[in-house]
Amino acid sequence: MPEGHTLHRLARLHRRRYRGHPIAVSSPQGRFATSAEVLDGRVLERTEAHGKHLFHHYGPDLVLHVHLGLYGTFSDVPRPVEPPRGLVRLRLVGPSHFADLRGPTACELISDVEAAAIHARLGADPLRRDADPERAWARISRSRAPLATLLMDQSVIAGVGNVYRAEALFRHGLDPLLPGRALRREQWDALWADLVALLREGVRRGKIETLRPEHDPRLLAPPDRGAVCARRVYAYRRTGQPCLVCGTPIAHSEHLARNLFWCPTCQPAAAA
DNA sequence: TGAGTATGTTCAG
DNA sequence: TGAACCTACTCAT
């Protein structure tokens, strides 16, 4: 489930598993073979994530850049090493574990300058200490684009995907089609703080759970409680099911070719 | 077991 | 705007 929390979790995991050791790097599938040869046997010095991008630093000007896209996955398996199954783009073998990368959108060897260029085009990442929410606010507060667009724009906020978008907007009672410039400063401050908390929780748990029944007194009484516990989200992919707070059926539409979910009652359109 | 669907991004037309 | 990438999960059979 590769939204930002997944990549930060991977960066943390790979740091623990592989940093400071020479890593056997290969490309069983072959599509990364030439670059794998360059990296093979080098010591992994540093890992980091920015939004949905993962970076492994193998010394000066040798950066492995991975973007999982929609399908990409990284396995985490204790040694001994097993024969690769399926299309493995990249395999990392460390002292105790190995990791197979399948189905990424990007897996490439880049320079420090190229890595810097990727960082430069990405917006504020709620999971990074160097995040600059003021820059995101400057973009949002000047924009006519709807919040649904701005929250998924990786050059504004890096790491938020479709699930966190739906959930954050619900939790703050915000209409997805509200123009950015109609958002009030205090609403933005609360939204950003919540994104930081939600994504951190996602890193900790390894999954997206924005709904903590014990922490939300607004939730309807049973029998809806059953549904509450089943899914752990308020709006995402709950089309037609009753809103867990007010009972209104969750609405769905396509917005820029992505699914958008919201509660028309809890997230009312602003009065004209 | 097979069909359907998806959390994302880039590129061709 | 639509196709491509080509994995993993859920649900129906």
pTM of the model as a whole: 0.94
SS3 call for A213: helix
Residue nearest to nucleotide C1 (CA to C1'): A257
Pairing relationship of beta strands A258-262 and A97-102 according to DSSP bridges = unpaired
Q: C11 C1' – A57 CA distance, angstroms? A: 42
Q: Is residue A111 part of a domain?
A: yes
| Domain final residue pick, A81, A101, A121 | A121
Query: Does the nearest atom of strand C lie within 7 Å of A84's Cβ?
Result: no
Q: Which nucleotide is at minimal CA–C1' distance from A88?
A: C7
Shared-domain flag, residues A163 and A53? no
CB A110 within 8 A of CB A63: yes
Q: Is residue A44 part of a domain?
A: yes
pLDDT in tens, chain A (272 residues): 689 999 999 999 999 999 999 999 999 989 999 999 999 999 999 999 999 999 999 988 999 999 999 989 999 999 999 999 888 999 999 999 999 999 999 999 999 999 999 999 999 999 999 999 999 999 999 999 999 999 999 999 999 999 999 999 999 999 999 999 999 999 999 999 999 999 999 999 988 989 877 778 788 755 454 444 455 899 999 999 999 999 999 999 999 889 999 999 999 997 65
Chain B bases closer than 7 angstroms to a protein Cβ: 6-10
Shared-domain flag, residues A111 and A152? no
In the numeric block, which tokens belong to residue A221?
């009484």
End-to-end CA distance of chain A, in Å? 37
Q: Is residue A229 part of a domain?
A: yes
pLDDT value for A251? 93
Shared-domain flag, residues A81 and A176? no
Q: Is residue A29 part of a domain?
A: yes
- C-alpha span between A269 and A200 (Å, rounded): 29
pLDDT value for A190? 97
User: Could you tell me where the beta strands, DSSP code E, fall in chain A?
Assistant: 24-26, 46-50, 53-57, 63-67, 73-74, 77-78, 90-93, 97-102, 106-110, 251-255, 258-262
Q: Is residue A268 part of a domain?
A: no
Domain count, chain A: 2
CB A56 within 8 A of CB A63: yes
Query: Does the nearest atom of strand C lie within 7 Å of A70's Cβ?
Result: yes
Structural domain span for residue A172: 133-262
Shared-domain flag, residues A252 and A141? yes
Question: Within 10 Å of residue A138's Cβ, how many Cβ atoms?
Answer: 12
Question: Within 10 Å of residue A252's Cβ, how many Cβ atoms?
Answer: 16
Q: Is residue A126 part of a domain?
A: no
User: What's the CATH code of the domain at A242?
Assistant: 1.10.8.50
Q: Which nucleotide is at minimal CA–C1' distance from A31?
A: C5
Shared-domain flag, residues A156 and A84? no
Q: B3 C1' – A136 CA distance, angstroms? A: 41
Q: C13 C1' – A8 CA distance, angstroms? A: 39
Query: Does the nearest atom of strand C lie within 7 Å of A73's Cβ?
Result: yes
Q: Which nucleotide is at minimal CA–C1' distance from A102?
A: C7
Shared-domain flag, residues A223 and A104? no
Shared-domain flag, residues A226 and A253? yes
User: What's the CATH code of the domain at A47?
Assistant: 3.20.190.10
pLDDT value for A117? 92
- C-alpha span between A185 and A29 (Å, rounded): 50
pLDDT value for A231? 59
Is the CA virtual torsion A48, A50, A56, A60 positive or negative? negative
| Domain final residue pick, A95, A121, A147 | A121
